């Protein structure tokens, strides 16, 4: 399976091999790295602690040294404003807007802007509201409004910007629009709190920060971008507070973070991109007691240091007309779905995986999928080139063996090569529905000696379909340009023989795994059901084929140089603990 998700080279196909050697340029997601691996590898350290001063509180140490309103500058120490009272400044920290409709506002140092009524700041040739460092004071911009109030900021460059932090609080509505640059841009952190609504629309980014972005809001935050990310955090992105966050981009990721992405507290997040991933991040994604809806091209969710879904509701979509698509993916780390999570993942492309992880670095952890006490649906479809509707998807391919040159599609997939422990897919007390035009579920380990084995573990759950379904073994030998690679793993299927191709007829293209309590009494394994009569004395019975509840089926695979199959399995299963590490190159701008 070494060349999964890459352009086949038919002239390099070896005798008996079922997966073609990958293009020299890359080994792709499922072979020696991710589809997007580039030269650099970045590991971000400990999560930075977010500290924000109280909003709109007078400060002895910080104050605006001057402000510029509509082109007129006013120095600190003397109050200023207009005769109509649409704006006023106390000569220090605080500025009030009440019906303001005018030009740009700029300050040096700290500025607190409170607004009432309907206010409009316009600059067709520059920034809207800008705070920069003063001679002696650092920049800080705080904005707060009442529930019935609105602040509209429109500019050609950044609409709302600060060299330092930006804090938006209160119950009002902030509309920030930039026709050429970012809507909201901070050299420090961006924090959005309160119960108000924030709408940020940028030709470049919607909301961007050199530091952390924290949305702790019970209202709605909407971020839109054309050329870049709608939400772009150079450190961590934290979304909590139970509000709604909608992020969309036309040409880039909807959400990007150099640090961790954390969504919690009942928040509802929707992310979509018309040309790229919905969510992309260098570190981890954690969704706890919250909902996430992500839709992207090529990728739905793509993070590099693990995905944890804890009591989460997640819907993710990825499509690529004739290309590669992965709905929920992490590289060099694990996927954990637990505690009543509901996950619905769909990937549509010539080469597609719905839920997947991989690890190809020596002595590093990752490449495991753990599903417990949850409901998961993972579907990968083959999409033909030249079509963009459901009629163009190969809905009838479940009944035939797909030629390897045509495509490869797996519902749930884990793959490792040189990691600490081989690939593992663990399903415990969960309902899992998986479909793939090639295979429903596949765990694969690659090694030079054939001793590493990818495993599927099912505990306190039953394979309901296909009838007679079980965990079966896969082994193959690939002769690549840089040497021989042994592939060993497991999949869901029928029969007892070890297969050597994912296109084997024994491989299940659709499977349903459920906890025993979801099986009707007449369908439980080992039980009998009278035919033609409900009488207990009826002797004519039938036995329903299913895997024994609570049992873990592990295949026995022969390996070159092994002393025994049991020794191989024991080695493969050692240390499959929940460990998080690894990194992958980012394709984002530095």
Could you write out the DSSP letters of every residue in 295-332? EEESEEEEESS-EEEES-EEEEEEE-TTSEEEEEEEES
Q: What share of the chain has pLDDT > 70, as a percent?
A: 73
pLDDT at 197: 98
Residue 270 has pLDDT above 70, yes or no: yes
Look at the block and give the residue holding tokens 């067709």: 124
Pairing of strands 528-530, 470-480: unpaired
8-state DSSP, 48 = P
453-483 core/surface letters (b: 16 or more CB in 10 A; e: else) = bbbbbbebbbbbbbeebbbbbbbbebebeee
CB-CB neighbours of 179 under 10 Å: 14
Q: Residue 566 belongs to what H/E stretch? A: helix 565-573
Residue 62 binned pLDDT confidence (cut-offs 50, 70, 90): low
pLDDT at 383: 67
CA distance 88 to 123: 19
pLDDT tens for each residue of 86-117: 999 999 999 999 999 999 999 999 999 999 99
pLDDT tens for each residue of 478-536: 888 888 999 999 999 999 999 999 999 999 999 999 999 887 665 544 443 333 333 33
Residue 554 has pLDDT above 90, yes or no: no
- 114 Cα distance to chain centroid: 36
Residue 127 has pLDDT above 70, yes or no: yes
Higher-confidence position of 215 and 517 = 215
The least confident of 157-171, 312-326, 458-472 is: 312-326
Rg of the chain on CA atoms, in Å: 28
Q: What share of the chain has pLDDT > 90, as a percent?
A: 67
Distances (CA, A) of 568 to 415, 443, 574: 17, 16, 10
pLDDT at 39: 22
Pairing of strands 213-217, 237-240: parallel
CA distance 306 to 580: 7
Residue 541 has pLDDT above 70, yes or no: no
pLDDT at 483: 84
Residue 426 has pLDDT above 80, yes or no: yes
Residue 246 has pLDDT above 90, yes or no: yes
pLDDT at 519: 75
The token pair at 275 is 């040309």
pLDDT tens for each residue of 369-419: 999 999 999 999 986 544 433 333 333 333 334 444 468 999 999 999 987
pLDDT at 384: 55
Look at the block and give the residue holding tokens 């040409």: 251
pLDDT at 164: 97
Beta-carbon contacts of residue 51 (< 8 Å; ≥ 6 apart):
none
pLDDT at 34: 29
pLDDT at 406: 63
Residue 317 has pLDDT above 60, yes or no: yes
Residue 584 has pLDDT above 70, yes or no: no
pLDDT tens for each residue of 438-479: 999 999 999 999 999 999 999 999 999 999 999 999 999 988
pLDDT tens for each residue of 226-237: 999 999 999 999
The least confident of 199-203, 537-541, 559-563 is: 537-541
pLDDT at 58: 36
Higher-confidence position of 271 and 20 = 271
The token pair at 152 is 């509209």
Mean pLDDT within 185-197: 98
Higher-confidence position of 20 and 291 = 291
8-state DSSP, 13 = P
SS3 of 188, please? coil
Q: DSSP of 421-435, one letter per residue?
A: S--EEEEES-EEEEE
Average model confidence (pLDDT) across the chain: 79
């Amino acid at each position: 399976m070494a060349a999964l998700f890459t352009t086949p080279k038919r002239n390099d196909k070896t005798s008996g091999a079922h997966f073609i050697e990958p293009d020299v340029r890359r080994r792709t997601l499922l072979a020696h790295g991710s589809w997007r691996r580039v030269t650099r590898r970045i590991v971000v350290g400990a999560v930075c602690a977010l500290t924000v001063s109280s909003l709109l509180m007078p400060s002895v140490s910080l104050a605006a040294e001057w402000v510029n309103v509509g082109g007129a500058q006013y120095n600190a120490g003397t109050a200023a404003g207009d005769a109509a009272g649409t704006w006023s400044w106390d000569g220090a920290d605080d500025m009030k807007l009440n019906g303001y409709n005018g030009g740009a506002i700029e300050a040096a140092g700290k500025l607190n802007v409170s607004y009432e009524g309907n206010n409009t700041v316009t600059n067709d040739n520059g920034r809207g509201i800008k705070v920069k460092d003063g001679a002696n004071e650092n920049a800080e911009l705080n904005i707060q409004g009442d529930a019935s109030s609105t602040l509209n900021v429109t500019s050609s460059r950044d609409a709302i910007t600060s060299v330092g932090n930006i804090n938006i609080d209160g119950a009002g509505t902030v509309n920030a629009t930039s026709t050429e640059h970012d809507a909201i841009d901070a050299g420090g952190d961006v924090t959005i709190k309160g119960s108000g609504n924030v709408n940020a629309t940028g030709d470049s980014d919607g909301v961007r920060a050199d530091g952390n972005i924290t949305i702790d809001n019970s209202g709605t935050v909407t971020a839109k971008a054309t050329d870049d990310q709608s939400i772009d955090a150079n450190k961590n992105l934290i979304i909590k507070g139970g509000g709604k966050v909608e992020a969309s981009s036309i040409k880039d990721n909807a959400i990007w973070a150099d640090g961790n992405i954390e969504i919690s507290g009942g928040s509802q997040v929707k992310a979509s991109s018309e040309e790229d991933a919905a969510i992309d991040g260098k570190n981890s994604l954690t969704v706890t007691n919250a909902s996430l809806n992500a839709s992207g091209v090529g990728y739905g969710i793509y993070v590099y240091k693990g995905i944890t879904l804890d009591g989460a509701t997640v819907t993710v979509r990825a499509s690529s007309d004739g290309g590669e698509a992965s709905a929920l993916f992490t590289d060099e780390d694990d996927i954990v779905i637990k505690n009543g999570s509901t996950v619905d993942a769909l990937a549509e492309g010539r080469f597609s995986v719905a839920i997947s992880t991989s690890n190809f670095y020596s002595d590093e952890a990752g490449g495991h999928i753990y599903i417990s006490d949850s409901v998961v649906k993972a579907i990968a479809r083959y999409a033909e080139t030249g079509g963009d509707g459901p009629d163009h998807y190969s809905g009838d391919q479940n009944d035939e063996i797909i030629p390897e040159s045509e495509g490869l599609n797996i519902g749930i997939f884990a793959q490792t090569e040189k990691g600490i422990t081989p690939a593992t897919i663990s399903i415990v007390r969960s309902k899992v529905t998986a479909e793939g035009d090639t295979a429903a579920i596949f765990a694969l380990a690659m090694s030079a000696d054939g001793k590493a084995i990818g495993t599927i573990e099912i505990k306190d759950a039953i394979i309901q379909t296909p009838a007679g379904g079980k965990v079966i073994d896969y082994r193959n030998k690939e002769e690549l340009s840089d040497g021989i690679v042994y592939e060993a793993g497991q999949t869901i299927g029928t029969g007892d023989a070890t297969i050597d191709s994912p296109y084997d007829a024994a491989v299940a293209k659709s499977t349903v795994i459920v906890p025993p309590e979801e099986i009707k009494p007449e369908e439980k394994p080992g039980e009998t059901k009278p035919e033609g009569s409900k009488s207990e004395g009826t002797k004519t019975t039938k036995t329903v084929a299913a895997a024994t509840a609570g049992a873990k089926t592990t295949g026995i695979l022969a390996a070159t140089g092994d002393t025994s199959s049991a020794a191989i399995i024991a080695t493969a299963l050692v240390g499959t603990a929940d460990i998080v590490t690894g990194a992958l190159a980012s394709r984002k701008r530095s």
